[in-house]
Amino acid sequence: MTDVEDKRQEQAHLRQVIVQIKQEQAKLKQNIQTAQADIHEIDRTFGDDVHVGMGDDGISMAGALSIQQQQQMLAERNNSWQRSQQQLMVLNKLVEKPYFARLDFQELPSGKPETIYIGLGSLTDEDNNFLIYDWRAPISAIYYDGDLGQVTYQTPDGEQAVKVTLKRQFIIEKGQIQTFFDTEETIGDQMLLAVLDNKASTKMKSIVTTIQREQNQIIRDTDSDLLFVQGAAGSGKTAAIMQRVAYLLYRYRHKLDSGQVVLFSPNMLFNDYVSQVLPEMGEQNMIQLTYSQYLGHRLPKVQLQTLAQQFEATQTPTQQAIIHFVSDYQFFQLETQYAQLLGQGGVYFRDLRLHDRVLLSRQQIAQIYYHFGPQYRLVNRIEATKAKLLKKLQGQLQREMKQEWVQTAIQNLSSEQLRQLYDYPDQEFATSEAEEKFLAHKLVEKELQPVARKIQQLQFLNPTATYQQFLRSVPQIVDLAAWKITPADWQEYQQQFQADLQKRQLRLSDLTPYLYLYDLITGHHGDLKMKFVFIDEIQDYTPFQLAYLKYSFPRARYTLLGDLNQSIFVKGKAPVLLKEVRKLFVPEKTRVVQLTHSYRSTQQITEFTKQLLQTGVKIQAFHRPGDLPNVLLAKKQMQMLQALQQQLRQNHDRHYATAIITRNLEQAQELQEQLRSSSTATTLVRSENQRLASGDLVIPVYLAKGLEFDAVIIWNASAGEFTSQDRQVLYTMASRAMHRLTITACGQLEPLLAAIPENYYQKTVIN
């Protein structure tokens, strides 16, 4: 068959499918209208029925029944409306691009030849024949995993072998086939090149049409409790998570909803960046949080270190040693073991007070807490204490009613306050004593309510004193010298911690162990219903934090993704992370995947950034050609600014949006000011709480994490601006660029960059 004939036939097939989609759309719209009308009608009659059934004692039996039926009907209609809405949303996408691939195959050993088309969602005709298969259906795995010839795939009944005879990829725009390729490989490079050559928008896009085989392993993994993905910059880790969430929501449909999946992301700009991917695939977004937000929810009054403070904090060697120690998995274990001893002593309490008077003293509370036998686990112990305290409080009520303040308070009540104490207006009493007693009871009950609430909320615990006691015990349990910490250093650290807590300003590395001990005592967990936890940019977490998250979501399966070469917060400690994390999971349920192909940048940019890393790192550039990165070396500061502006203009000519990435916020602010005074329009990204603006940006490196831009200009990579520790920082900066990378410097180039052989970049010295 000729290409022309092929295309004619494919276009004819496409037209037919589009007709079917349109019919389906019309049907769904009709369903939606009917459901809406029904909901409206039920809403209208709902109120009437209630009135009909109302007797003096409230709602009659018949009325109640009718309400229940109405509610059921309403819920059912609402569900149907929602389902239809969601299906319609998918169809609205399918009508433009019904599918992106075709597979011809034959089931082995003796199946008939079959042809299927794969798209964003499934569609069947009236006879239940599949016109389009969802990309997540079991059969679609062949498209991503296999070459031509014999291939196997997983069905619900086990493995099935097929012989694939054709793999065809389509680019369809507005219902027209633009072009198609037949390919023998998994996913043809031609298609990938076409996708990658497109310029970025400010939002990440779905990659379903070109998922690579190694990425597909991550997306479709359903066996591992821990899936650990180490991947080079731009290797599609984030893209893979987003498709994986969509896959899981499809695979576990009816058992999993998007509220049971949480993604811990590096910052809120990143959340904005990925916010469209799942909706584009017809799915709802999962919960997205930064680690700091997660802790912040727990202690809303404590001010946590900002990203800027975390990144820019300078530490003395002693501080570093201590942070290293309290961030380690060993410290986590130490705390876990310490908590086991708390059943015998070491938990501190606070007095429970009423009007500044001690109602239940901390000594009394401690006695209650510790009078439960050793068979009580900490969680049961606290629950039992709570129950006992509430009972005691109840017992206090009678005694409290006789206190002098009660009489005085009653006498001073305004008539409005009095009215509120009665059960109903003009309440009658046999005697004035009975009335007084009634009022005293009511008043005391009301006053004791906040105390009861405190008991419910476990405010009788003193977590700070308990934690301080733990810190004091540490030198007796651990050889601190092995961590290069002296007893005096440790003591100073304890004081510092106390002072920080009083100021309500804490480092993340200090807050996590504090919360963990509290959780151990109270049995507090994160959401037990959470089924999947994703952590992106894992290299920025400490082993302690990861162990804490694992403790917090004990029933979830974990997907951790990161690039140890981009660890810009936890400097130098990242390589041990995998080893530490593995300890938390059963080895048979752990899978480690390496992604070595880098898709984001042109070949020239990837080869250049690779040179920044020490040897031995496996990164394969995707062969998408582009310009060599260029270094603009100025003699004076002013020239560096002019060179930057000229580069911006060149980037504009190519319709590239540029991110000018700086070392820190201060530099970003300074530069933005200079650009503003010379009328160059750029947006300064100063905080992670901002939305991602389009156009040219000035952004400090720690906020650019996880993002990508058409063009990147690294600002002021002059000697002396970075330290030898900043290899990863420079790597992170440079690897954000998709099509164009420029480095500006003044005087001498930063030695880490100057060490790169000159054939990897083009240097212009500005005189």
Ligand X SMILES: Nc1ncnc2c1ncn2[C@@H]1O[C@H](COP(=O)(O)OP(=O)(O)OP(=O)(O)O)[C@@H](O)[C@H]1O
Residues annotated within a binding site:
231-238
Interface with ligand X includes 600 (CB under 6 A)?
A: yes
Q: Which one of the spans 120-128, 171-179, 204-212, 472-480 is the region binding ligand X (CB under 6 A)?
A: 204-212
Nearer to ligand X by C-beta: 66 or 206? 206
Which of 195, 366, 448, 592 contacts ligand X by CB under 6 A?
A: 195
Cα 169 to Cα 13, 99, 130, 135, 684: the distances in Å are 15, 9, 18, 13, 41
| Nearer to ligand X among residue 200 and residue 461 (C-beta) | 200
Rule CB under 6 A: choose which of 66, 87, 140, 212 binds ligand X.
212
- The residues in 716-745 that bind ligand X, with binding defined as CB under 6 A, are 735
User: Residue 243 interacts with ligand X (CB under 6 A)?
Assistant: no
Binding mask 557-596 for ligand X (x = CB under 6 A): ------x--x------------------------------
Closest CA to 533 of 516, 551, 553: 553
CB of 627 to ligand X, least distance (A): 19
Give the integer Cα–Cα distance in Å for 688 and 704: 9
Based on CB atoms, which residue is closest to ligand X, 515 or 704?
Answer: 704
Question: Which residue in the shown chain puts its C-beta closest to ligand X?
Answer: 236
In the complex, what is the shortest distance from the CB of residue 77 to ligand X, in angstroms, rounded to a whole number? 39
SS3 state of residue 78: helix
Residue type, 55: G
If one asks whether residue 136 binds ligand X (CB under 6 A), the answer comes out as no
Whichever of 190 and 462 has its CB closer to ligand X, that residue is 190
Compute and round to an integer the Cα radius of gyration of the chain. Answer: 32
For the bound state, the minimum distance from the C-beta of residue 231 to ligand X, rounded and expressed in Å, comes to: 5
Beta pairing partners, 534: 263, 559
Closest CA to 321 of 165, 524, 433, 486: 486
Cα–Cα distance list, 698 to 272, 638, 640 (Å): 17, 18, 15
Distance CA 63, CA 54 (A): 7
Stretch of residues binding ligand X (CB under 6 A), selected from 107-115, 211-219, 379-387, 625-633: 211-219
The string of DSSP letters for 699-753 reads EEHHHHTT--EEEEEE---BTTSS-GGGHHHHHHHHTTEEEEEEEEEESSBPHHH
Which CB atom, from 265 or from 310, has the smaller least distance to ligand X? 265
- Work out the angle at residue 628's Cα, subtended by the Cα atoms of residues 622 and 630, and round it to the nearest 5 degrees: 135
Of the pair 335, 536, the CB lying nearest ligand X is at 536
DSSP codes of every residue in 281-324 = TT----EEE-HHHHHHHH-TTSEEPPHHHHHH----HHHHHHHH
Instruction: Indicate the residue among 651 and 728 with the shorter CB distance to ligand X.
Output: 728
Angle between helices 463-477 and 329-341 in degrees, nearest 10: 110
Among 14, 21, 141, 211, binds ligand X (CB under 6 A): 211
Q: Which of 706, 728, 730, 752 binds ligand X (CB under 6 A)?
A: 706
For ligand X, the binding residue among 98, 121, 146, 234 (CB under 6 A) is: 234
Binding segment (CB under 6 A) for ligand X, from list 230-238, 247-255, 357-365, 402-410:
230-238
Residue 236 Cβ, how far from ligand X at the closest point, in Å?
3
210 makes contact with ligand X (CB under 6 A)? yes
Q: 195 or 289: whose CB is closer to ligand X?
A: 195
CB of 42 to ligand X, least distance (A): 45
Q: Which of 102, 168, 220, 237 forms a contact with ligand X (CB under 6 A)?
A: 237
Which of 344, 197, 246, 271 has the alpha carbon at shortest distance from 536?
271
Can residue 230 be called a binding residue for ligand X (CB under 6 A)? no
Q: Toward ligand X, which CB reaches closer, 231 or 463?
A: 231
The alpha helices in 596-722, defined as continuous H runs, are 603-612, 637-653, 665-677, 701-704
Q: Judge whether 105 and 153 are in contact, CB under 8 Å.
A: no
Determine if 231 is a binding residue for ligand X (CB under 6 A): yes
Within residues 276-335, the interface with ligand X by CB under 6 A covers: none
Q: Give CA–CA dist 696/681, Å, rounded.
A: 7
Question: Segment contacting ligand X (CB under 6 A): 229-237, 397-405, 750-758, 759-767?
Answer: 229-237
Q: Which is nearer to ligand X, 563 or 607 (CB)?
A: 563
Question: According to CB under 6 A, which one of 98, 236, 282, 526 is a site residue for ligand X?
Answer: 236
Displacement of CA 237 from its chain's centroid (Å): 14
User: In angstroms, what is the minimal distance from the CB of 539 to ligand X?
Assistant: 9
Q: Which residues pair with 354 in a beta bridge?
A: 357
Closer CB to ligand X, 265 or 647, in the complex: 265
Closest to ligand X by CB, 531 or 705: 705
Nearer Cβ to ligand X (519/563): 563
- Is residue 509 within 8 A of residue 326, CB to CB? The reply is yes
Is there binding between residue 602 and ligand X (CB under 6 A)?
no
Helices 61-94 & 3-53, crossing angle to 10 degrees? 160
CB of residue 229 vs ligand X: minimum separation in angstroms?
Answer: 9
Phi and psi dihedrals of 152, rounded to 5? -115, 155
Q: Which of 120, 139, 207, 713 binds ligand X (CB under 6 A)?
A: 207
> Which of 151, 164, 233, 593 is the binder for ligand X (CB under 6 A)?
233
The nearest distance, CB 131 to ligand X, in angstroms, is: 25
> Which of 84, 140, 183, 235 is in the footprint of ligand X by CB under 6 A?
235
**Annotated binding-site ranges for ATP:** 231-238
Question: What is the distance between the alpha carbons of residues 298 and 519, in angstroms, rounded to a whole number?
Answer: 11
Q: Which stretch binds ligand X (CB under 6 A): 125-133, 228-236, 572-580, 672-680?
A: 228-236
In sequence order, the 6+-apart residues with CB closer than 8 A to the CB of 728 are: 565, 566, 567, 568, 571
Considering only 87, 238, 602, 680, the residue that binds ligand X (CB under 6 A) is 238
Report how many residues bind ligand X under the rule CB under 6 A. Answer: 24
Q: Please report which residue ranges of 372-486 form alpha helices under DSSP H.
A: 378-401, 404-411, 415-421, 432-456, 463-477
Which position among 117, 144, 599, 608 is part of the footprint of ligand X (CB under 6 A)? 599
Site residues for ligand X, window 361-420 (CB under 6 A)?
none
Tokens 């930064």, located at residue: 290
Q: Give dist(CA 359, CA 364) in Å, integer.
A: 10
Residue with tokens 């305004």: 414
Question: Which stretches of the chain bind ligand X, using CB under 6 A?
Answer: 192, 195-196, 204, 207, 210-212, 215, 231, 233-239, 563, 566, 599-600, 706, 708, 735
